[in-house]
Structure 1
């Protein structure tokens, strides 16, 4: 076989395989990023839950105020949300997870009167390379974004 012909065959093979190899590399990177962000979200919810459990009952009574609002617990709700979003109770400008906001967080006592506080977070994860995967006219685009949900329950001290 001619040496120049072998170079041409290798170039054709590389041209055919390169898109698949790049897809594998980028998909692996996105999966790693997804796992990192989900891990970060669960850690933030856990830390916020521990903070809330220690600060929810400023009156030291057997029942928590109902409804549990900032005015009744020394701003524990807004401080917990700030801790979850920014990593500190005083707030900030850049959330630790892009797109996470106070509207994504729900704090409630379930069941009422149990002193069991549940923090629920619904976070819309977005891939770096775009929200939709094109099918090049062979069908509908595939939506790559999805919702991460996590909950943490803690008993108020």
Structure 2
């Protein structure tokens, strides 16, 4: 009986390391995918917060009491873009130096209303691990996609 258990134990020797070797790449791939998803959510949250701050800034500055409606000048638009990207307005005259290459900011009055402003920030998300999924036939699939954050506020 003892000999039978010993032979069965010898047959099982090394099986755990083989199973670990097979499952390790899958576990690492899953871990990296969760990390990239978390990084994407963090970038989207940053875009949304920048959009809210910029909309709050332009809503407090854009109301023209003499005209009775929202008026977005070129200087106000430029300062709002600075708020969206850098967190603080620049002083006029402003130039958009230092803007990230894959980020666009749009500031506009909402069509059909006299008292709402809209700030839209879009940026291209690029994963750190790979830029695309290769294909055996034809072109591969790119993993870059746009993240868009839009905020609408009433002018004060």
User: How far is 1:2 from its partner?
Assistant: 4.4
Q: Is 1:45 aligned to residue 51 of structure 2?
A: yes
CA distance in 1 between counterparts of 2:89 and 2:48 reads: 17
> Residue 150 of structure 1 corresponds to which residue in structure 2?
149
Q: Runs of 5+ in structure 2 lacking a partner?
A: 1-7
Q: Is 1:35 aligned to residue 34 of structure 2?
A: no
Give the aligned length: 144
**Is the alpha carbon distance of 1:79 and 1:100 closer, same or farther for their aligned partners in structure 2, counting shifts above 3 Å?**
farther
* Residues 1-157 of structure 1 mapped to structure 2, 5 A cutoff: 1-3=8-10, 6-57=12-63, 59-61=64-66, 62-65=68-71, 68-70=72-74, 75-90=75-90, 99-101=101-103, 104-111=104-111, 114-134=114-134, 137=136, 140-157=139-156
Q: Runs of 5+ in structure 1 lacking a partner?
A: none
Q: Is residue 80–residue 107 contact of structure 2 (8 Å, CA) maintained in 1?
A: no
**Is the alpha carbon distance of 1:14 and 1:94 closer, same or farther for their aligned partners in structure 2, counting shifts above 3 Å?**
farther
Q: Is residue 45–residue 151 contact of structure 1 (8 Å, CA) maintained in 2?
A: yes
CA distance in 2 between counterparts of 1:2 and 1:112 reads: 79
CA distance in 2 between counterparts of 1:89 and 1:117 reads: 17
CA distance in 2 between counterparts of 1:27 and 1:139 reads: 25
Moved over 3 A (4+): 91-95, 98-101, 137-140
**Is the alpha carbon distance of 1:8 and 1:151 closer, same or farther for their aligned partners in structure 2, counting shifts above 3 Å?**
same
Q: Could you say which structure has the larger radius of gyration?
A: 2
**Is the alpha carbon distance of 1:53 and 1:12 closer, same or farther for their aligned partners in structure 2, counting shifts above 3 Å?**
same
User: How far is 1:133 from its partner?
Assistant: 2.5
Cα RMSD for the two superposed structures: 2.6
